[in-house]
């Protein structure tokens, strides 16, 4: 089983995959939008990633920071992942 971060246009139904698991059973989740709707952040067992959603180029997720010790990564989940509710500060 693999996970992806995707988005769908409400008006057109167009589906776009923005990021996918690096390995089987690596959970991705905790999706949160930037206030200007230009980027998405999400969590993986290793840490927090951000990916741009605007533009025609292929989205490239970037690691923002590591949130869990290396030893807890590789099982598909980490404690930080399970006990977080990643959210972007609402102010610009």
Partner 1 sequence: MVSRPGNGVSTVTGSVVDAADVSQGIADAYVYVPIRAVPRTRQASAAPVAEAHTSADGTYTLTGVPEGTQSIVVEPPAGSGYAGMQIDLGIPGGTTVSLRITLARLNADIKGITVVPSEELTLTYGGVQQYTAVVLDSSGADSGLAPVWATTGGIGTISASGLFTAGNSTASGQVVAMLGTAVAVVPVHVRPLPSLAGTLLYTDTNSGQSDICIVPVDQGTPVPLLVTPGVHETFPLWSPDGSRAAFLRTTDLATDDLWVMDADGSAITSITNSLDVVKNQCWAPDGLSLVLSVHQGEAMVLARARIDGQVDVLTSGHEDLDPDWSPDGQLIAFVRSPIWDGTTGQLPSSRACLVSRDGGAVSVLSPDSERAYEPRWSPDGASIAFVRASSDGTVGHLCLMAPDGSAVTDLMPDSPPLTTAGEPRWSPDGKVIAFVLQ
Kindly list the residues in this chain that would bind partner 1 in the complex (CB under 8 A).
Answer: 1-11, 13, 15, 17-18, 28-37, 39-43, 48, 50, 53, 63-69, 72, 78-80, 83-92
Residue 55 vs 92, nearer CB to partner 1: 92
Torsion angle, CA of 69/73/77/82, rounded to 10 degrees? Answer: 10
Tokens found for residue 36: 């200007």
Residue 58 vs 85, nearer CB to partner 1: 85
Minimum distance, C-beta of residue 56 to partner 1, in the bound complex (Å): 16
């Amino acid at each position: 089983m693999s996970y992806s971060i995707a988005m769908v246009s409400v008006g057109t139904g167009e589906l776009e995959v923005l990021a996918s698991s690096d390995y089987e059973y690596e959970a991705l989740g905790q999706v949160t939008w930037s206030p200007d709707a230009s980027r998405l952040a999400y969590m993986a067992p290793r840490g927090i990633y951000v990916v741009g959603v605007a533009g025609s180029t292929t989205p490239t997720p970037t690691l923002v920071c590591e949130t869990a010790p290396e030893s807890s990564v590789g099982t598909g989940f980490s404690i930080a992942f399970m006990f977080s509710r990643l959210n972007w500060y609402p102010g610009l």
